A and B are shown apart, each in its own frame.
Chain A
Amino acid sequence: SAVISQKPSRDICQRGTSLTIQCQVDSQVTMMFWYRQQPGQSLTLIATANQGSEATYESGFVIDKFPISRPNLTFSTLTVSNMSPEDSSIYLCSVRRDEPALGANVLTFGAGSRLTVL
């Protein structure tokens, strides 16, 4: 299965600044997803990033706040813009495992990027 590396693993940021999270996959994948996990909560899908097209955002998430790039089939970035303390969360990158024998829509996740906004 794919191995996902995320950078940074954690960071402390000041209010009003922006931070870009990188997601590197060790193999080419079609679909990449960005999730947010607020403290003590479950995961919420932010957007789906496909190479060569604009990201598809879920309700409550907008491109101006969370711009996403997907320059190739192994890499994506998520930027958290103009951060506030409410953006303090773990941000997770995931990819769909294109292995039909394994199952339907099975995802592999990175370890996440823990952001704290002061």
Chain B
Amino acid sequence: LAKTTQPISMDSYEGQEVNITCSHNNIATNDYITWYQQFPSQGPRFIIQGYKTKVTNEVASLFIPADRKSSTLSLPRVSLSDTAVYYCLVVPLHGFYSGGYQKVTFGTGTKLQVIP
């Protein structure tokens, strides 16, 4: 399983754009990059997933360069409610459609603190 490396913590002021970069040098061809968000006293929540280039949804954007060895989660105009831990994961696709077993492993995560 590809290992991920991301900053332990980040601070940002309200209204700013936040970019969290994740390194995954050993990503495999069949791996997808996935981000989760975890608030205190809650389980992680899926935010976004991508394979290459750029993916955008109502919550965030995910930028993935051509070599896929890193990715950047972008949160536009953060608010205090975005204070959470953000996890970058590399998730194997192999066997997914055949119902195969794929383990999902969480890394250390980035603790984002949004400041008023």
Contact = CB atoms under 8 A, between A and B. Distances in A.
Contact of A45 (B32, B36, B96, B103): B103
Interface stretch (B16-24, B42-50, B67-75): B42-50
Interface residues on A, range: 20 to 34
A116 interface: no
A104 B41 contact: no
Contact of B42 (A33, A42, A56, A111): A111
A82 interface: no
Contact of B43 (A92, A100, A106): A92
Contacts of A112: 41-43
Interface residues of B, number: 26
Contacts of A110: 43
A45 B104 CA distance: 8
B105 A104 contact: no
B116 to A, nearest CB: 24
A67 to B, nearest CB: 20
Given A100-B96, A105-B32, A105-B91, A45 B105 contact: yes
Contacts of A100: 96-97
Nearest to B49: A103
Contact of B49 (A4, A35, A56, A106): A106
B38 to A, nearest CB: 8
A30 interface: yes
Interface of B: 32, 34, 36, 41-46, 49, 87, 91-93, 96-97, 99, 101-109
